[in-house]
Amino acid sequence: MDSPRCPLTDSTPSLLAQGYAWLPDRVRRAAEPFVRARLAGRHAVALRGPEAVRFLYDERHVRRHRALPEPVKSTLFGHGAVHTLDGQAHRVRKAMFLSLLTDPGRVAALTDRTAEAWDEAVERWERQPRVVLFDEASRVIARGVCRWAGVPLDDAGAEPVARDLVAMVDGFATPGPRHWRARAARRRREAWLARLVEGVRDGSADVPAGSAVEAVASHRDVDGEVLDPRTAAVELLNILRPTTAVCWFVAFAAHALHRWPGNRARLRDDDGAYAEAFVHEVRRFYPFAPFIGGRAVTDLTWRGEAVPSGALVLLDLYGQNHDPDLWKEPYAFDPRRFLDRPPGRDELVPQGGGDRALNHRCPGEDVTVSLLKALSTRLARLEYEVPAQDLSIPLRRVPARPRSGVVLTGVRHPSAD
């Protein structure tokens, strides 16, 4: 087999300029689900499809160590995060997340805390002329997850905390001012939570027994040692930050209810199966995580294509969620596609693929689905107007969001009429 040639031109500027469209465009031009590129000076290959999921998540092929660029670690995930670990070190750290995030009782408690915060917020929204749903949802969820996790937060604290948690997500994939805001937000919140962890350990901070803060503060890593306070803060943020980021999906759900209002009645009617299908379709249809990746640990072959040791191997999440080979009419928003059958493990991949206990698949999918079900249903039951505004979702911006943030006016609970 010929040794693979990495393109000479670096595609990083095109990726930054085109966002979500960059990889699917390249796949379309290549007329096959395999793309070779140079990214940040490195040889990269991009794959998609259930078979590609199984290939990439096999640690004999691809590992995460030294795969993530520094700007992503300094904003989105944090240095020393579970995302960057492999092998036994990864599995021991991952077990902590799974025990906190997949137990149905804990997921229900987090959903209840957040639903309470939503109901409190609605009382305020009814007295306001307009609300920006994206911003409001971020505060509601930040309040809910902090209450659930045992992070002390007074009412005035929710707004700056939500702003920082959103900033960390908003700025990971851009070189501009959003990026510097993300770095500053991470530094601030790591310092804040590291102090809390130290307080829990020396007894000066009182947090509920069994809470996420207590679990992270007392977690022992593969070496039998507790995490240093900064890494413990990084991992606490890896619970608070992505949970708050469900506000992106809440804004997308509002967008879908506005564009395709037929969904509203079935959500209002407490149709649990439909609500779940709606949530999966929101996660499939709208753009959020564009791709994930790691480094080839040895010379590999993918469907006859050589992948040299050290190359970046990317899984095209957005492309796979819109792949016509997997989804009938992929650009139609249609929750009914999930009514007949639940999503296949390695087909629907907005939060990664594979087995969440063994690899890097997101441990927060149950939380995401549960929160989004509860909040979409509540949103569908509210009455409000959607005044003229720019609801476009430019795919050049990563992470994408409706430009206006989804402005609602005249919010009222139907019972108030």
Residues that bind ligand HEM (CB under 6 A): 82-83, 94, 97, 101, 238-239, 242-243, 245-246, 249, 288-289, 292, 350-352, 360-364, 367-368
Residue closer to ligand HEM (CB basis): 297 or 306 = 297
What whole-number distance in Å separates Cα of residue 126 and Cα of residue 260? 24
CA distances from 42 to 6, 12, 310 (A): 8, 10, 9
Q: What is the smallest separation between the CB atom of 46 and ligand HEM, expressed in angstroms? A: 14
Residue closer to ligand HEM (CB basis): 11 or 238 = 238
Q: What is the smallest separation between the CB atom of 361 and ligand HEM, expressed in angstroms? A: 6
Residue closer to ligand HEM (CB basis): 80 or 410 = 80
Residue closer to ligand HEM (CB basis): 121 or 282 = 282
Q: What is the smallest separation between the CB atom of 240 and ligand HEM, expressed in angstroms? A: 8
Q: What is the smallest separation between the CB atom of 81 and ligand HEM, expressed in angstroms? A: 7
What whole-number distance in Å separates Cα of residue 343 and Cα of residue 325? 15
Residue 180: how many other CB atoms lie within 10 Å: 14
What whole-number distance in Å separates Cα of residue 345 and Cα of residue 121? 35
Q: What is the smallest separation between the CB atom of 242 and ligand HEM, expressed in angstroms? A: 3
Q: What is the smallest separation between the CB atom of 404 and ligand HEM, expressed in angstroms? A: 20
Residue 279 and residue 378 in contact, taking contact as beta carbons nearer than 8 Å: no
Name the residue number minimizing CB distance to ligand HEM.
364
Residue closer to ligand HEM (CB basis): 369 or 411 = 369
Residue closer to ligand HEM (CB basis): 63 or 411 = 63
Residue closer to ligand HEM (CB basis): 165 or 196 = 165
Q: What is the smallest separation between the CB atom of 2 and ligand HEM, expressed in angstroms? A: 30
